[in-house]
Amino acid sequence: MEAKSLDKALDIYTALITGREVSRSNADTRELYEEFYSNAAVYDITMQMLKKLNLSLYEYEDCLFISPGDGNRIFGYTNDDLKRILGLRLNKELYTVYFIMYNALLYFYQDSAAYQVKEYVKTEDILTQMTDYLSTIMKDLNVYSMDELAEDSFRTIALLWDELPMVTSEDKDRNRASRASKTGYVKLAFNFLVSQKLFVEVEERYYPTNRFKAIAENYFEEYKGRIYKVLGGEIDA
């Protein structure tokens, strides 16, 4: 019985780690989904494996998703990995892309219980939001309780963002992503989110996927932090 449960748990893990959709509506994996929730032994073994591998499991609309935990060097990305993937050279460039991604999250969510009624996001939405947030942060930075590194990071992002033009002639290509402009940086971030199956792009509109929603709706419960408070959120929201 234990061997059978282990085999089934390994099947579930294999499906998740290879990017297959384990859900009630997927005929190919429906049995795995049902086994995960109906068999306590299978559930426990699967969760134990994921915990040991520093992987988080989320569910959204009867579908299971996994995401690397903080600092996961095997299934996640290091800063150097992401700089290479995104074509960046400097940490300040990477931190700016991180901040753009965080703004994309906040565009749809303010906390785990507050999904905003927005179907999609466009590049110009994040351009406006980035400028507004950075302006507010730099104006009120001295009132926040931060260490020097955090303060310098926000200043570095704000200075880089302020130096960039809004667009360049290359940005006329809607798929163009670069370090040459604010628009190029946002496209860098959005293209990466598309590659991770977090966004789907349709005619310059970016729609959040169920994977995005599953991760976002669990984010504030697991990783509440100062950056969210700085941007106007309540830690206990």
Is the same domain home to 114 and 165?
Answer: yes
Q: Are residues 57 and 85 in the same domain?
A: no
Which DSSP helix (H) or strand (E) runs through 63?
strand 63-68
Residue 65 is inside which H or E element, if any? strand 63-68
Q: Which two tokens stand for residue 101?
A: 């991604």
Question: Does residue 204 share a domain with residue 143?
Answer: yes
Report how many domains make up the chain.
2
CA angle, 156 as apex, 186 and 120 as ends, to 5°? 20
Whether 188 and 140 map to the same domain: the answer is yes
Of the CA atoms within 13 Å of residue 196, those in its CB half-sphere come to 22
The first and second tokens of residue 4, run together, are 């059978």
CA proximity to 105, closest of 198, 176, 201, 194: 198
Residue 151 and residue 128 share a domain: yes
**Consecutive 10-residue runs of the chain (237 residues): their mean pLDDT?**
88 93 93 96 96 92 89 84 93 93 86 68 94 80 53 80 81 66 94 94 94 81 53 43
pLDDT at 215: 85
Would 237 be classed as within a structural domain?
Answer: no
Q: 183 in a domain, yes or no?
A: yes
Q: Same domain, yes or no, for 107 and 223?
A: yes
pLDDT of residue 111: 55
Q: Are residues 108 and 215 in the same domain?
A: yes
Report the distance separating Cα 102 and Cα 206, nearest Å. Answer: 15
189 and 88 housed in the same domain: yes
pTM, 2 dp: 0.81
C-alpha to C-alpha distances, 231 to 125, 193, 221, 237, nearest whole angstrom: 16, 22, 17, 13
Asked if residue 202 lies in contact with residue 119, where contact means CB atoms within 8 angstroms, the answer is: no
